[in-house]
Structure 1
Amino acid sequence: MDAKKVLEAALLCAAGPLPERDLRILFDGAVDTAGLRTLLQELQHDWQGRGVELVQVASGWRFQTRPEMRVFLDRLNPEKPPRYSRAVLETLAIIAYRQPVTRGDIEDIRGVTVGSQIIKQLEDRGWIEEIGYRETVGRPALLATTRQFLDDLGLQSLADLPLLGGEDERDAQDALVAALQSGQDEDRAAFTPDLFAEDGMALVTAPDAAPDPAAADAPAPAASPATPTNIPPAQGQ
């Protein structure tokens, strides 16, 4: 059996991303890690120029529709994705770039009280979770983003988060939130790091290091939950 066809079938039928350790199980030890990655790269190349692409995200590999297909696929599923308030987006941005943080840390940065419903909304969406407690008075919970957050952004790690260049941190955050909010409109593409460049914002990438929290108060996805199909929507959905 053609190993590449086996990979293709497994990935197309999977309900979510498949890690490489699971993909190796398909071949019962006959394909090593290096060989598996070569096959995945070949499969990526085979699907270039098609409506669906093979990508690697935090949880593994998956097929997803390309962002430019969204406007057409939305006609099959006209339900509007959930919209997130500015407060929710700012809170998620702070957690993403300054994690782990406590609720008090977020309130200090935003300058306003963070309502319990904001934290719950992000937890229910699967974007943040409690990872421990700070050893101080009251032992407040420490919040961090999840693998689901990275998967929904189409990222492999936090180091892939885009940074926004600019001298004024508050202006940068305002611009980011505005871009994310507009990204929720039905006539706009799903969130991708390129969204910021399309809006005339300068992106600074840091491929070999995690983002500097001081650079910006960062992006949050304006995504809808994945639709129940074998091939997930383009990232951000």
Structure 2
Amino acid sequence: MSKPWRRDVTDVLAPETIALMGDILNSDAARAAEALIFASANPVSEHYLTERLPRGADVPRILAELSRFYAARGVNLVKIDGFWAFRTAADLSFAVRQEGQEPKKLSRAALEVLAIIAYHQPVTRAEIEDVRGVQTSKGTLDVLLEAGWVKFRGRRRTPGRPVTFGTTRDFLDHFGLEEIRDLPGIEELKAAGLLTGRIPAGLSAPIPKSDDELAGDEDPITQLDLEELGLLTPGGEADE
């Protein structure tokens, strides 16, 4: 008797491919990878899995087959900035939303700042204000930092050494992006109805850099910097 999941893929995959998928998915290594990802509170890396699976396990192949298998299920195995996690299928989000739970909405200012950081990172507060044309309150940045979507990522090698901001893996996870370069371009934004009215000729969306990719004029955040920013108490203890 064939397994139920095979009925989901027979229309698009050759029988020999399905048989090979079955061999991989039923292997001890694949079952262990599935369990490790499911049990982890955070997305896991391929390196993490390689260290815990049987020696010689083809981790990229296992993950690819698991991702294909779960693509039609109620939960999907997704890749987020090089890390893997199970997430509810996008079309079923309504079914798992808790009754009476209202998603927290960001203010227009916070959304503007988040978009600027996402597309222009690494970016300083002064640069954010230059793009917006208005002053950005500390409270707006604090909301994004507390949400876990934005982080302090470095310090610019300019007078005053201003802090630079970038997006986080949680940002990618929340918005269903595999990597920061998956952010929509101008044409995609127009097609989605997010850009309306008269659009300046030649307007383009910058191609964002990886949020872990330090720019040439940027130094990494140090423990001393974290203490100065109030993220660590003197001596290295995390500030609750």
Structure 1 and Structure 2 fold alike (TM over 0.5): yes
2:89 to 55, 66, 69: 66
Distance 1:21 1:29 in 2: 12
Q: Does the alignment pair 1:4 with 2:27?
A: no
Q: How does 1:211-222 map to 2 (within 5 A)?
A: 215-216=204-205
Residues 100 and 22 of structure 1: CA distance in aligned 2, closer, same or farther (over 3 Å): same
Distance 1:15 1:121 in 2: 23
SS of structure 2 residue aligned to 1:29 = coil
Contact 1:17 1:59 in 2 (8 A): no
Q: How much is the aligned-residue C-alpha RMSD, in angstroms?
A: 2.7
Q: Does the alignment pair 1:13 with 2:39?
A: yes
Task: Tell me which amino acid in the other structure corresponds to 1:58.
Answer: D
SS of structure 1 residue aligned to 2:123 = coil
SS of structure 2 residue aligned to 1:45 = helix
Task: Tell me which amino acid in the other structure corresponds to 1:123.
Answer: L
Contact 2:77 2:87 in 1 (8 A): yes
Distance 1:197 1:7 in 2: 38
The structure whose Rg is larger is 2
Q: CA deviation at 1:156?
A: 2.9
Residues 140 and 201 of structure 1: CA distance in aligned 2, closer, same or farther (over 3 Å): closer
* TM-score, normalised by the number of residues in structure 2: 0.65
Residues 17 and 215 of structure 1: CA distance in aligned 2, closer, same or farther (over 3 Å): same
Task: Tell me which amino acid in the other structure corresponds to 1:97.
Answer: Y
Contact 2:153 2:163 in 1 (8 A): yes
Q: Which residue does the alignment assign to 1:147?
A: 169
Distance 1:120 1:129 in 2: 10
* TM-score, normalised by the number of residues in structure 1: 0.66
Q: Does the alignment pair 1:105 with 2:127?
A: yes
Unaligned 5+ segments in structure 2 are 1-26, 197-202, 208-240
Contact 1:132 1:142 in 2 (8 A): yes
Q: Does the alignment pair 1:161 with 2:150?
A: no
Q: How does 1:186-225 map to 2 (within 5 A)?
A: 197=191, 199=193, 215-216=204-205
Contact 2:33 2:53 in 1 (8 A): no
1:25 to 29, 38, 51: 51
Distance 1:15 1:104 in 2: 36
Q: How does 1:118-129 map to 2 (within 5 A)?
A: 118-129=140-151
Task: Tell me which amino acid in the other structure corresponds to 1:152.
Answer: H
Q: CA deviation at 1:73?
A: 1.2
- 1:140-166: per-residue Cα shift (whole Å, max 9, x none)? 211112222222223232221111229
Identity of aligned residues (%): 37
Distance 2:78 2:140 in 1: 31
Q: CA deviation at 1:77?
A: 4.5
Residues 48 and 119 of structure 1: CA distance in aligned 2, closer, same or farther (over 3 Å): closer
Contact 1:51 1:69 in 2 (8 A): yes
Q: How does 1:58-97 map to 2 (within 5 A)?
A: 58=81, 60-74=83-97, 76-97=98-119
Q: CA deviation at 1:11?
A: 1.6
SS of structure 2 residue aligned to 1:123 = helix
Q: CA deviation at 1:137?
A: 3.1
